[in-house]
A = this chain, B = another copy of it.
Amino acid sequence: MLAKPATPSTPIHDLITQRWSPRAFDANKQISRSQVLALLEAARWAPSCFGNEPWRYIVWDRARDPASWQKAFDCLAESNQAWVKNTPLLIVAGADPHFRHNGKDNRWAQYDTGAASMSICLQAVALGLAAHQMGGFDAQKLHHAFAIPDNITLIAMIAVGYQAAPDILEGEVRESETAPRKRQPLGSVFFEGAWGKAIA
């Protein structure tokens, strides 16, 4: 399977290095129940402001409930459907923007949910799976399709599965799959001591 390890200037943990967001998934390999639960447990133990756990997740396991999986799939952007069609597991990440303990605005709700989703992506790597987050979906349609309360902010959908070889993909999607990974130079967004002073 295609590996596209990160290329940091200093060694970092393998789990982080190995994580990337492939689009080639194997339609014939299912995810076990214990794998699904491990993905969610990883998110569950993420840190959050005031221990509020603002994240809310719904998972759709194609093998257990193909109709619901399809309904979730139908909310994705067409450009994502082209490759997500092979993934056995779909997840949506949402956030409750109010604190449980006092009902006030929780300005860390999305930030904390991002941490929980990162845990899912890293736990996927640990399980020999891959996870790919997507912003391209119709949140309103998803709200309606699954009667998700209006107050929940739907942020990302996550496709999870076993990777397949890039040659199952076509066109631009295939090009993205095999293109080198890139990031801005460290010092352009990581500063030391003062704003704009590149770390070195």
Chain A residues packing against B (C-beta within 8 Å): 6, 8-13, 15-17, 19-21, 34, 36-38, 40-47, 49-51, 53, 55-61, 64-65, 68, 93, 107-108, 110-115, 117-119, 121-123, 126, 133, 135, 146-149, 155-156, 182-184, 186, 189-195, 199
Contact = CB atoms under 8 A, between A and B. Distances in A.
B8 A41 contact: yes
Contacts of A13: 15, 42, 122-123, 126
Given A122-B15, A133-B47, A41 B117 contact: no
Given A147-B194, A193-B60, A155 B111 contact: yes
A41 B184 CA distance: 11
A16 B37 contact: no
A172 B149 CA distance: 37
A92 to B, nearest CB: 9
When all copies of this chain in the complex are counted, the total is: 2
A46 B192 contact: no
A53 B45 CA distance: 24
A17 B45 CA distance: 8
Given A10-B37, A13-B126, A126-B13, A190 B111 contact: no
A186 B44 contact: yes
A199 B17 contact: no
A116 to B, nearest CB: 8
A50 B21 CA distance: 12
A58 B126 CA distance: 30
The 3 A-B residue pairs whose C-beta atoms are closest, nearest first, are A114-B114, A8-B41, A111-B114
14 contacts: A8-B42, A11-B38, A12-B38, A44-B190, A58-B191, A58-B192, A58-B193, A58-B194, A58-B195, A59-B190, A68-B193, A111-B156, A114-B118, A122-B122
